[in-house]
Amino acid sequence: MRLDATFDDINGTTPDSYVDGDRQDDKHEDFIADSRRRMSELNADRANERLREKQLGTLDTRPMRRNQPHPNHEADKPRGAEEDRKAEAAAEETRRKEKEQRRAELLKQLERERTQRHEQWNNGPWTLARAFERYKLTCTFFDTANFSAESLPLAFIDIPWPTLRHPSLNRSEDIDWESTNEFFQSIQPSLRGQAYKTFLKVSLQRFHPDRWSGRNLFLAILDEDERNEIETGRLF
Q: How far apart are CA 127 and CA 31, in angstroms?
A: 121
Give the residue from 128, 118, 136 showing the smallest Cα distance to 165: 128
In a domain, 49, yes or no: yes
For the ranges 71-85, 132-146, 163-177, the maximum mean pLDDT occurs at 132-146
Residue 65 in domain: no
List helix spans (H) across 57-165.
73-76, 81-118, 128-144
Exposure letters 148-186 (e unless 16+ CB within 10 A, then b): eeeeebbbbebbbbbbbbebeeeebeebeeebbeebeee
Are both 24 and 7 inside the same structural domain?
yes
Over the range 201-211, which residues count as b (16 or more CB within 10 Å of their CB) and which as e? eebeebbeeee
Pair (179, 204) in one structural domain: yes
User: Above 50 in pLDDT, residue 213?
Assistant: yes
Between 68-72, 78-82, 121-125, 203-207, the lowest mean confidence (pLDDT) is in 68-72
Q: What count of Cα atoms within 13 Å lies in the side-chain half-sphere of residue 128?
A: 9
Is 196 found in the same domain as 98?
A: no
Can you give the pLDDT at residue 174?
A: 83
Question: Same structural domain for residues 29 and 105?
Answer: no
In a domain, 63, yes or no: no
Q: Which domain holds residue 119?
A: 71-123
What's the whole-model pTM score? 0.60
Domain identity same for 212 and 131? yes
Same domain, residue pair 146 and 177: yes
pLDDT attached to residue 9: 43
Determine, yes or no, domain membership for 62: no
Domains: count for the chain: 3
61 falls within a domain? no
Flag whether pLDDT at 113 surpasses 80.
yes
Residues belonging to the chain: 236
pLDDT band with cut points at 50, 70 and 90 for residue 35: low
Q: In the beta sheet, which residues pair with residue 213? A: none
Provide the residue type at 46 as one letter.
R
Residues 157 and 230 in one domain: yes
CB 119 within 8 A of CB 152: no
Residue 118 located in a structural domain: yes
**Over 70: is that where the pLDDT of 160 sits?**
yes
Which of 106, 123, 140 is the last residue before a domain boundary? 123
